[in-house]
Amino acid sequence: MLKTCDILDEKDKRLRQVSEEVVFPLTKEDHKLIDTMIQYLHDSQIDELSEKYGLRPGMGLSAIQLGVAKRYFVVVHELTGPDDEEKEFDTYVLVNPKIISNSMEQIYVTDGEGCLSVNRPVEGIVPRYARVTLEAYDMEGNKVQIRAREELSICFQHELDHLNGILFTDHIDPKNPFKNKDSMRAI
């Protein structure tokens, strides 16, 4: 089982690597890592499991955050609200993803973005597109196209940044962390 301590910390230089394109078919190791990433993200969003196993809650995880410099990431997006008894999730595995279109409108997370590799509070605005369309491949090598909006759009952009060696903190202006706040919509 993957533990929070297995995820690379922002000080680890490997997080600054640009990940390599994946060649199909995926290896057995890639399949195993992807399954492990999905399990971690799923369990981390269920309070009882997160507490039991000491997992930091997360919605997305890139292979590079586990020291594997390959262009894929996993997103486990909760579909249910906080009052729903049974949680439901959509799971995305995107291999060799790229943004093929985006909205002009920009948004930011009101409480600030977080990251499983950044173990400290970070204040500031990370400008993101409100809507993106990604082209990628699934685990079998089939081309997929996904249109995402709001929270899911932010998560995809955040994980794609990881594949390019970029952390969300890089988007925050250190001299003016709330720069251009009024030109974006908070979510």
Residues identified as active-site: 159
Q: Can you tell me which residue has the tokens 């196209």?
A: 145
Strands 106-108 and 185-186: parallel
Two structure tokens written together for 30: 């890639």
Q: Where do the DSSP E strands lie in the chain?
A: 60-62, 72-78, 89-102, 106-108, 128-129, 131-137, 143-149, 185-186
**Which residue intervals of the chain are DSSP H helices?**
28-44, 47-53, 150-163
Q: Are 187 and 150 in contact (CB under 8 A)?
A: yes
Q: Which region holds residue 112: left if phi is over 0, alpha if psi is between -120 and 50, else beta?
A: left
Two structure tokens written together for 28: 């057995």
Task: Report d(CA 87, CA 141) in Å as an integer.
Answer: 29
Question: Which amino acid is present at 64?
Answer: I
